[in-house]
Structures are given as C-alpha cells and as structure tokens.
Structure 1
Amino acid sequence: MSSKRLYKIVKTFLQFGLDELLPEKYLPWYARIARRSLFWLRNKHRDKTKAQRFRLAIESLGPVFVKFGQMLSTRRDLLPDDFANELTLLQDKVPAFSGQEAEKIISTAIGANTFAETFINFEQTPLASASIAQVHTATMLHSDGEQAVVLKVLRPNIEKTILADITVMSFFAEIVARWLPDGKRLRPVEVVAEYKKTILEELDLNREAGNAIQLKRNFSQGRDSDKVLYVPEVYSEYCSKNVMVMERIYGIGVGEIDTLHSKNVDMKLLAERGVEVFFTQVFRDSFFHADMHPGNVFVDATNPQDPTWIAIDCGIVGTLNREDKRYLAENFVAFFNRDYRKVAQLHVDSGWVPSDTSVDEFEFAIRTVCEPIFNKPLSEISFGQVLINLFNTARRFNMEVQPQLVLLQKTLLYIEGLGRQLYPALDLWQTAKPFLENWVKEQMGVKAVFNKVKDNLPFWNEKLPEIPDLVYDYLKTNREAQRLQLSTLKQLQRQQQHHSKKVTILAVIATLAICLTISFT
C-alpha cells in the first residue's frame, strides 16, 4: 500500500470531517491520540451534511473511488437514504489520456498492419472518457464497404491503480467493520470484495464483447427482432482484453427529455418498452444488462411513434438460476395480490431467510412495511422501493445478501427511474403484472410440463435403448448385494456362536474354580 496515497486519503477524509462517522467513544485510546495529533487536518466543510461531505470526499479521491461510490449508491439495503441519494449524484467525468497513446495501444492490440489497413479516419480526440476506458471513433473498411465504428480502449496501467486503491479501501473497511457501531450490519469488507470482483471483470473487454453479443442475440430473434432493444454490432475479430470494436450508434441520450419531446417521440410507449426490456431480460432470458444508467442507454427515434431502446457498455450483467427466477416472479405476483403470507413463505422456501424463521412474524413485518404503500394510487407506487423495503425487512430476519438480487434491484431502480422520467404517469405495476402472471403460468401450468418433456426428449431418446440393460444391471447388482449381505450375516452369526461358546466355557471354569476354593477352605 502506497504511504503517499494512504496519507492523501486520510487527509481527504479528515478535511471533509468523515471521522465524525466513527464516534470517538468507540475508538481505542491510541486512535483518539492519533486523531488529535493531526491538528492541521480539520473539517473544512462544516456547513454541509455528513452525506454531502461523504459524496464530495469520494469525488475528490478520483475515478476508482467515484465508481465505488456509484456502486455503493445501489446498496440502499445498507445505507441511510440521505447517503444513498447523495451518492447517486456522482458523475464519472474523467479527463482523457493522450489520443496518440490510445492509438498506439489499439494498434498494438489489433496489429499494426491490420489497424492501418482496416481502420481509417481514426479520431485521436475521444468521443467519451470514463474512469476505466475511453472511446474513439473511426471508419472500418470491410467487404461490404465502410462502417462507422467506435474503439473502446482501457486506460494504461488502470489495473495497477485500481488494485492499489482497493487495498486502501479494504484497510478502511476493516476499520469500519471493527469500530463503527453499525459496522457488522454494513458488512464493509464484503462490499469492497464485491466491488473488487465487479470492477476487475470490467477490465476484460473480451468479457464485455461476449456479453454484448449474447444480449444482441437474445433480442434479435422472434417477431420483435431488435424492435424493443437494439445492441450495437460487435466486431469480435478485432477485440482483445484491452480493446473493443463495435458499431457506432446515433441515438438520443435517454436523459435528453426535451429533445425527445421535440421529435414527438411516443413517450408512453418508450417507457412501457423499458419495462418490457427489463422483464424480458430477467424472466425470459435470465441474462440482464445490470448497468443501465442514463449514460449507457439511448433512444433510436428514427420513427418517433415506434421508438427503440439502445444499450451499450455491457461490462456488468446479471443472471438468475431457474429457482431464483421462479421465486422472484411468484414474489412479485404475491405482492400484486397483497398476499403477504405467500411472500413470507416463499422467502423461507427459497432459503433466502433461515428455515427456522417464524412465517407468522415475517408475514406481519412485511405487511407493516408494505400495506401503507397500497393506500396510494398505483401510479405513485415505486416498484423499486417496494423491492428495497422487502430486502430491508428480510435483513432483519437474517436474510443473507444475494448478489444476483442486488444487481437486479439496481437494474430495476435504473429502469423505473428512466421510465418515470420519460413518462411520469407510468404505472409500472399495471405494465408488469400481466407479463409476470403469464410467465408464472407458462412455468407452472400444463404448458410448462409439456415444454419440459419436449426439452428433455433428446436426453430420453438417447437413454431409452439403455433402460433394459440398466434394469438388468440393477437387478443383478441388487441380487449380488443381497448374497453378500446374507454371507456376511451368516459369518457374523458363526462368530457370535463361537464367541458364546468361549464365554460359556470360561464361565464353567470360573464356577469350578470358585467351588474348589470354597471346598478347601
């Protein structure tokens, strides 16, 4: 750990008064002395709240901490609302590194000759610059002609910088876990470990390319081919760990509401399609883009009455297994129907809360939190907030953090926020309920049984000829096992009989000896 970097972080924390988050009475004597000895590092922002100071400190520490703060803002199950709301204001705007250096890195990754022959009009001034990578535009030559593309390139030595900062974060996480009154509940060590895993995955652009290809394939099939969500084409032959090449898209940022209105985009349809995108990814494909913030989402308004969502930056994706997906869908439907008993039972059955949890008490806790929400008009109810309330309540009953559900919660909050921004009257419940009810029927009804049998037919077709042999082998093995057991049993009986004879003889001898002794006395 760099002592210089550590000093800068400590200095920043103290100058923003973040030491107040660790009450002095909980600190050991040596920590209190150390704090007072740094008399020149005092809080310079007393006019701001603790949450504001925390956000400003994160911003001043650079891109790695900013990205960590963005991730932390989604963990509303751990943070107070004021801290979570402040962290959502973090902007990942980072100065670009040299365009010449970027071109050199790309040329080396692709191959100097291939790069020179395939890519022309490379723009050294980046189109966008973020904490981990930056994007440059170019024209790609191929057999069909020219194609406008963007080339994403990782910042040089970024992995070294990230690992160094994560080491410092882990150091402070252990301090918080040990000394903060609420340290155990906040689980800071686990949160930093989760962040480390996520950000290191983002450092492999081959992984992002694979995710984008999968997501595009999922939405390029069926009657709505690419109508709901469009994912730019990835040119995987030119991709590597630190460079990614993909089609350039020309969309309107989803946050540019005035522009969308000026083009007469059907905002209601666009918002509803956002909901459809989310539930289709989660419940149909079990593979969802987990970083759909406004910077990664655009709108194709070529036909304003038939708008299409465009998603980029697939570095973070989430998946759900079949059981999680089924339990989640049933939870949503039970919430729609205000069946809190079923919600509580589903949490126990899924293993999300301990098996010895009192279903009655859990049901009462869920009703207490959620019933007031239903007194509001449906259009005023936040679907994401209901999910947060559910997780917070479940945590009181020792529900362990489910990483796949945290990503899901984050994505749902993004989608709902975008949907309500586009169309404030969006009724997420009414839009989602038919989709979920149909999905549950398909998974649990007669059609589901038929589909399961159909899906397993190739397996059974392969195994069917082997069944007579398997039955014969089983019976033969069972018969041999019975013979072996019978033989073992007889041997044990013989041993027992032999042992009994020995005991009898010894008993007779002992009796005679006692009698003789008595006679001679």
Structure 2
Amino acid sequence: MTPLRLAPRLFRVAAILIKYQLDELVDGAHLLGPLKAVRLLFPRAPAEVRGLPRGARLRLALNELGPIFVKAGQVLSTRRDLIPADVADELALLQDQVPPFPGTEARAIVERELKAPVTTLYARFDEQALASASIAQVHAATLHDGREVVVKVLRPGIDRRIARDIDLLHTLGSLAQRWHPNADKIRPLDVVAEVEKMLSNELDLQREGASASLLRRNFASGIDLYVPEVHWDLSTQGVLTLERVHGVSADDIAAIDAAGLDRKRLAEKGVRLFYEQVFRDNFFHADAHPGNIWVDLGRIDEPRFIALDFGIMGSLPEADQYWLAENFIALFERDYARIAQLHVAAGWMPANVRLDELEAEVRTVCEPYFTRPLSQISIAELVVKLFQTARRFELTLQPQLILLQKTLLNIEGVGRMLDPEIDIWAVAHPVLRRILRERYSVRAALRDVRRRLPEWMHMAPRVPELVRDALRQVASGERREVADPRVLLQTRDTARQLHRVLACGLLGAALLVGGAVLFALAPRLHASLPAACVAAGLVAFAVGWPRRSS
C-alpha cells in the first residue's frame, strides 16, 4: 500500500493517540511530526481519561483502533522483557470481542466451504452466534445423530482486511524502527512479524483442528484435561466443527465453589498440565487465559480442565526444550553457576561471556525472591527478570521462548486465582524431575535407538567405505576441517592413536548397533545381553578416545 493511500489511516492513528493523551509516543518517537501541528483540531480527552495511567490509556486506544491493533497489543503484552510491567499488565487485559456478523452470512460460508446445504450437514444450525471475535465466530449446531457441536466460521473478507491492516502495521513499525529512541529494545518490526505470523495461523482453521487433535491424543485419558473432538468431515480451512463442551471459565470462582470442587487440587493440576505439555509432549496451548481454559463442573471427585481455542499453539526445538528444562531445575535448586553455564552451552549467549559475571547477575536477581515464602514466588516473574538481565549479555531470545514465557504467566495467573496460597515451586519441581527422568532415561534412549534402527541398518553397509574415503581425504590434504594431516601424521605415536580411535570407534559402534538389534528383534529376551553389548560398546569408545599429550 502506498504512503499516500495510508495517509488517512495514519491520520486516524495519530488522532486516537492524541485523544488518549499518548502524546509521549508521538513526541518521543517523532513518528507523526507533520500531524502534531493539528492537535488543536482535536478535542481534549475527558477528565476520566486524563486521570488514567499510561497503560490503561494505551489499552483503550488500541481497542478503538480495531481488532488487528488489539492483536498487536496482545503480542506486545508478552514482551515483558522489553516493555514496562505496568503497560504489559494493562495490555494483557485486551480482549478482541467484536460484534458478530449476520448468521445468514455464516450459513452461506458454511455451505460454500462444505459444498452442501446446512440442512444436509446438520440437523440444526443456530444462526445466532455463541461467541464472536476478530477472526471468526462460533455457532451452535446439532448433528443428525443428536450430538451437539459448535461450528467456527471465519469472518467474510477477513483475509483482505488483515492484509490491509498488516500493511499499516508494517509502515508504523518501520517508522518506529527508524525514529523511536528505544527501537533497539522494543524491536517494533519483530513485534509486527509476530502479529503477522499469529494471524496467518489463525486464518487456517484446518491447522487449528489439527492442533486440537494432537492435544486430544496427548491427553487421551481425559482425566486431567479434556479436549473436544474434531469432526473432520465437517471442517475445512474456513470452517471448523468441534464437539460442544460445557463448563465455566477458570476465573469463575463463585461457580467453581458452588459446584463443590477442590480449588487447591485444581490449581496444582493446572501447573502440572503446563509442565507436561511443554516438557513431556513438547506441544502446549499458548493462549491459556481463563476464557480458553474452562473447568468441568460435572467432575467433583476428579476435577479437570477443558481446553478451547487452539489457534495459537507452541513447541520448542528439542535442544531448547532440554536446555530450558535444565535451567528450570537449576533455578529450583538455586544453582546460579549452573544457570550461567547452561545459557552459554545452549548458544543463547556468546561463548565469550564471562561466566562469573553472569552468575553474579543471576544471583543478584534471584536472591531477593528467595527471602519470601515459596508460595509467594512467581516463577514467571523471575523468568522475565532473568531474561531482562540476560539481555545485557547479548541474550538471543527465540520467539518460541517468548511464547512459552507468555503461557507460563497465564498458567501461574490461573493457578493463583484458584488457590492464592499455591506453592508453584513445590508442585513444579517434582513434576519436572519425573519428566526428565523418563525422557532421558536408558529405556527412552533404547526406544530412540529402536526407532532409528532401520535408518542405521540402511546406512551400515556404507560406513566402512565412508570412513575409508574420509581418511583418504585427510591423508591427501583434501579435507582440512577435521585436522591438518601433516600434524596428525607427524609422529608414529599419532598414527597409532589414529588407528586405535578408528578401530575402537568401529568396534564400539558395532556393539551398540548389535545391542540395539537384540533389543529390537528379540524384546522378550532378558535385557542383560543387549545391555552387555551396549556397555561393551561404551567401553570400546572410552578405550579409543584420544589422549591428550602431556
């Protein structure tokens, strides 16, 4: 979109910022300098607005600017490592509730997407929306077999509107990136990119259905968390049909108490569910505010949660998942040196960081928290403070970690709402320990070996040839990234060491693969024989490991 066509919309943005006395954004950023001269054309903000804190005024301004700006505010609220806490708290209250579009249009969209009349698809379709948001709205319906469902329908023309608004956000982000004095900390273009990615995902309801299906499989028992079933024959990219569930929002304390549910038990279960989703399954609900997390009032003996709205889900690269879990354990155990080492080992910080200085900074942040009772310590708040501190050491913060941070804040908020005295540390520590024991145990490693075995067996016949070619390349000087052959073969001792490494390495690999084959092909045999093969393979590797010359 050309700057000329954007001018009226930029003018409107400036007008709303001025209306809510956000002049410091205009003045400090120098974004709308030409428009500042026309401030007198706008009426002064009402007294009730002038008395509000800056975060509340910004929240009201974003609400007036429209749903896409609300989404941007929601994303910005997660960046507590970048924006003041008072502003982040206010932006976290943003809700993208908008008036529904006509039910007749929803019916037409359903018929177009599913290529059949609504009466053929459903026994009943309620044209009055159950809920309405900026991207889609939800209608109640009944299948021909009597089962109740909800039908989520994308707003008509929403893709074009989002594209237009994203253009505007890119323009504003570029201006802020260029002129805002704190652009290097706020990184407005990164925020815009996060909004764009989030909206792109939410525009694909088939993706949301796939996420719901996976989360449902991960908690198939339904004891702790219930996920509604997806009806794939009645779902497309623009329409999603889900089993209808009944419950109350997790913040409806009065209804939960009236049903006689144990809120303390429910709060502990919510914390456990978070760590299981992140560290056991590596797939977590990343929009877990109370509106999307319900409580099933029909389960008094074994209270459980119900998950809704799967448009924003998160996962971590396997390496980050491991490093993050170890960081949490070190934090629980107040091992500040370990936290510093893990940040560097994970590659989140440059290798030239002085570990003693980083350890001292981590200790400075954490120690004041540990003077409080554990039930009053917020893990989420502490993680945010650590991220803020680590930024001074050139922390490279990945988007998936930011999403996790937001989710942790949401879950802790729900937990403390249900039980203000919950000791999150006492609940989380043993859960994380158990998950790590199971995930990185010998049994888990053998399962991984068994899974990879076909690939290894396919490659095994080529291993001697690959080793021979590598040695030939080293000896001829064609391959220098491993070692300089003139240095490697400089002495007879070095040559012997090379042969020992090669022989022991091949023997160790053969024993490990042999143990895996025995475990995979004869699982009913006693485990001692495969274990002996694996142990012998490890011994061979240890014998062949190159010694440093004295």
3-state SS in 1 of match to 2:348: coil
**Which residue number in structure 2 is paired with residue 266 of structure 1?**
262
Cα shift readout 1:262-295 (whole Å, capped 9, x = no counterpart): 1101112211111121111111111111111111
Q: Assess if the C-alpha contact under 8 Å between 2:27 and 2:33 holds in 1.
A: no
**Which residue number in structure 2 is paired with residue 12 of structure 1?**
16
3-state SS in 2 of match to 1:265: coil
Offset at residue 447 of structure 1 (A):
4.1
Cα shift readout 1:413-460 (whole Å, capped 9, x = no counterpart): 111111111111111111110111223333445445434433333434
Offset at residue 46 of structure 1 (A):
2.8
**How far apart are the structure 1 equivalents of 2:473 and 2:358?**
52
Offset at residue 370 of structure 1 (A):
1.0
**Which residue number in structure 1 is paired with residue 42 of structure 2?**
41
1:471 and 2:474 aligned: no
Q: Assess if the C-alpha contact under 8 Å between 1:135 and 1:153 holds in 2.
A: yes
**Which residue number in structure 2 is paired with residue 119 of structure 1?**
122
* Larger displacement relative to structure 2 (67-76 or 31-40): 31-40
Cα shift readout 1:97-129 (whole Å, capped 9, x = no counterpart): 10111111111111124x322302211110111
Q: Assess if the C-alpha contact under 8 Å between 1:335 and 1:343 holds in 2.
A: yes
The one-letter amino acid of 1:139's match is: T
The one-letter amino acid of 1:183's match is: A
**Distance of aligned partners of 1:477 and 1:303 in 2 relative to their CA distance in 1, 3 Å threshold:** closer
**How far apart are the structure 2 equivalents of 1:265 and 1:247?**
24
* Aligned mate of 2:63, from 49, 52, 59: 59
1:310 and 2:306 aligned: yes
3-state SS in 2 of match to 1:96: coil
1:134 and 2:130 aligned: no
Larger Rg: 1
**Which residue number in structure 2 is paired with residue 183 of structure 1?**
183
Alignment of 1:104-253 (within 5 A): 104-113=108-117, 115-141=118-144, 145-220=145-220, 225-253=221-249
Offset at residue 57 of structure 1 (A):
0.5
**Which residue number in structure 1 is paired with residue 375 of structure 2?**
379
The one-letter amino acid of 2:41's match is: W
Offset at residue 169 of structure 1 (A):
1.8
Q: Which runs of 5+ in 2 are unaligned?
A: 479-550
Cα shift readout 1:227-251 (whole Å, capped 9, x = no counterpart): 1111100011221111101110011
**How far apart are the structure 2 equivalents of 1:371 and 1:483?**
57
Alpha-carbon RMSD? 2.3
Q: Assess if the C-alpha contact under 8 Å between 2:211 and 2:310 holds in 1.
A: yes
**Which residue number in structure 2 is paired with residue 504 of structure 1?**
none
**How far apart are the structure 1 equivalents of 2:268 and 2:408?**
13
Cα shift readout 1:340-399 (whole Å, capped 9, x = no counterpart): 111011111111112211111111111111110011111000111111111111112111
**Distance of aligned partners of 1:398 and 1:138 in 2 relative to their CA distance in 1, 3 Å threshold:** same
**Distance of aligned partners of 1:352 and 1:157 in 2 relative to their CA distance in 1, 3 Å threshold:** same
Offset at residue 42 of structure 1 (A):
5.6
Cα shift readout 1:440-492 (whole Å, capped 9, x = no counterpart): 3334454454344333334344445x26xx4257548967997999xxxxxxx
Identity of aligned residues (%): 44
**Which residue number in structure 1 is paired with residue 438 of structure 2?**
442
3-state SS in 2 of match to 1:134: strand
The one-letter amino acid of 2:111's match is: S
**Which residue number in structure 2 is paired with residue 283 of structure 1?**
279
Q: Assess if the C-alpha contact under 8 Å between 1:23 and 1:180 holds in 2.
A: no
Offset at residue 63 of structure 1 (A):
1.5
**Which residue number in structure 2 is paired with residue 83 of structure 1?**
87
**Which residue number in structure 2 is paired with residue 508 of structure 1?**
none
**Distance of aligned partners of 1:457 and 1:155 in 2 relative to their CA distance in 1, 3 Å threshold:** same
The one-letter amino acid of 2:40's match is: F
**Distance of aligned partners of 1:473 and 1:409 in 2 relative to their CA distance in 1, 3 Å threshold:** closer
**How far apart are the structure 2 equivalents of 1:234 and 1:212?**
7
1:425 and 2:453 aligned: no
**Distance of aligned partners of 1:482 and 1:323 in 2 relative to their CA distance in 1, 3 Å threshold:** closer
**Which residue number in structure 1 is paired with residue 516 of structure 2?**
none
Offset at residue 10 of structure 1 (A):
1.8
**How far apart are the structure 2 equivalents of 1:4 and 1:477?**
65
The one-letter amino acid of 1:20's match is: E
Q: Assess if the C-alpha contact under 8 Å between 1:205 and 1:241 holds in 2.
A: yes
Alignment of 1:477-516 (within 5 A): none
* Larger displacement relative to structure 2 (436-445 or 173-182): 436-445
3-state SS in 1 of match to 2:82: coil
Please report the TM-score for the alignment, with normalisation by the length of structure 2: 0.81
Aligned residues: 471
The one-letter amino acid of 2:315's match is: T
**How far apart are the structure 2 equivalents of 1:480 and 1:107?**
65
Q: Assess if the C-alpha contact under 8 Å between 1:14 and 1:42 holds in 2.
A: no
Q: Assess if the C-alpha contact under 8 Å between 2:18 and 2:39 holds in 1.
A: no
The one-letter amino acid of 1:171's match is: T
Please report the TM-score for the alignment, with normalisation by the length of structure 1: 0.85
